[in-house]
């Protein structure tokens, strides 16, 4: 790990000012960043610790939208009665991230800013069509995830909260790596009054929507309709854990399971 300067702002405005320092990085839960620092894959000159910022905390619901502060830890989302009532699929997803240590340290905003190709939160954000609130604007989920570990965020831009529209039904199913619990394939299905959104993680350089599954489920929201969809392996990833063809096979299988779970919880 290279040497760095640690800044600990007392409020959001002070944090924004510190992030304008050249070669600075925000530090939220640190579950990805600290590992990168140890491996010398990242070497910022300044780390801005967001741990004390009350403005980035809290979970609220206004009836149509659930808002979670960027500093909400995975365990807090998983255990929140508001989340469980409004979007139970989101609470269940958060409860399946990593292990207890990761869930008690990792944050919603940190996960989204990191945009790991196999992370769970990006799948929920894209599947629900959420909006990412920053210190200067609102970014729709469809525009936020741009590449492997890349997002639409500017270098000094800070996520402050995420606003999730509340669906009629939703569910998330992942086939996970038993060591890391990252998704080899993860599928989030959300049904709204005006259509269905299906997001897939763990299969490409970043999370993506499946238009084929969305069209099939908009016409017939059933497990059978999901499983009948054929997914091309052409743009999917192959690695030591799974081939692109294996992932292509799993996507509609897990989508079918997600639909079955969503219908079971709704009924």
CATH number for 115? 3.30.465.10
Q: Which pair of structure tokens corresponds to residue 137? A: 């604007």
Element (H, E) at 184: strand 183-192
At residue 2 the predicted structure's pLDDT band, cuts being 50, 70 and 90, is confident
Q: Total domain count for the chain?
A: 2
Can you tell me the mean pLDDT for 32-50?
87
**Cα distances (Å, whole numbers) of residue 114 to 110, 189, 253:** 6, 22, 28
Q: Whose CA is closest to 72, among 96, 46, 91?
A: 91
At residue 15 the predicted structure's pLDDT band, cuts being 50, 70 and 90, is very high
Do 140 and 32 share a domain, yes or no?
yes
Domain extent, residue 180, equals 169-266
Which tens digit of pLDDT belongs to each residue from 141-177?
999 999 999 999 998 999 999 999 999 999 999 999 8
> Which of 140, 165, 190 is the last residue before a domain boundary?
165
Half-sphere exposure of residue 74: CA atoms within 13 angstroms, side-chain side: 25
Which tens digit of pLDDT belongs to each residue from 236-263?
999 999 999 999 999 999 999 999 999 9
Can you tell me the mean pLDDT for 184-201?
97
Can you tell me the mean pLDDT for 28-45?
86
Percentage of the residues of the chain whose pLDDT score is greater than 90: 85
Q: Which pair of structure tokens corresponds to residue 44? A: 């910022």
Prediction pTM value: 0.94
Do 247 and 179 share a domain, yes or no?
yes
Do 114 and 218 share a domain, yes or no?
no
> Is the predicted pLDDT of residue 36 greater than 90, yes or no?
no
> Which of 105, 139, 165 is the last residue before a domain boundary?
165
At residue 185 the predicted structure's pLDDT band, cuts being 50, 70 and 90, is very high
> Is the predicted pLDDT of residue 264 greater than 90, yes or no?
yes
């Amino acid at each position: 790990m290279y040497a760095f300067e640690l800044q600990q702002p007392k409020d959001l405005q002070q944090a924004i000012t510190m992030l304008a320092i050249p070669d600075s990085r925000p530090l939220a839960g640190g579950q990805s960043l600290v590992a990168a620092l140890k491996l010398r894959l990242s070497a910022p000159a300044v780390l801005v610790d967001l741990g004390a910022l009350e403005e980035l905390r809290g979970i609220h619901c206004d009836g149509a939208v659930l808002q979670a502060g960027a500093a909400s830890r995975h365990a807090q989302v998983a255990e929140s009665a508001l989340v469980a009532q409004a979007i139970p699929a989101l609470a269940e997803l958060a409860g399946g991230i990593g292990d207890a240590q990761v869930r008690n340290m990792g944050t919603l905003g940190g996960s989204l800013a990191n945009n790991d190709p196999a992370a769970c939160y990006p799948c929920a954000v894209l599947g629900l069509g959420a909006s990412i609130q920053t210190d200067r604007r609102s970014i729709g989920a469809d525009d936020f995830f741009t590449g492997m570990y890349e997002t639409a965020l500017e270098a000094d831009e800070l996520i402050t909260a995420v606003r999730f529209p509340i669906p009629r039904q939703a569910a998330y199913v992942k086939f996970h790596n038993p060591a890391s619990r990252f998704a080899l394939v993860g599928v989030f299905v959300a049904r709204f009054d005006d259509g269905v959104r299906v997001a897939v993680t763990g299969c490409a350089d970043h999370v993506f929507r499946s238009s084929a599954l969305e069209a099939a489920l908009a016409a017939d929201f059933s497990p059978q309709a999901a499983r009948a969809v054929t997914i091309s392996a052409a743009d999917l990833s192959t690695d030591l854990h799974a081939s692109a063809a294996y992932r292509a096979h799993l996507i509609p299988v897990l989508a079918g399971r997600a639909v079955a779970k969503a219908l079971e919880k709704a009924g």
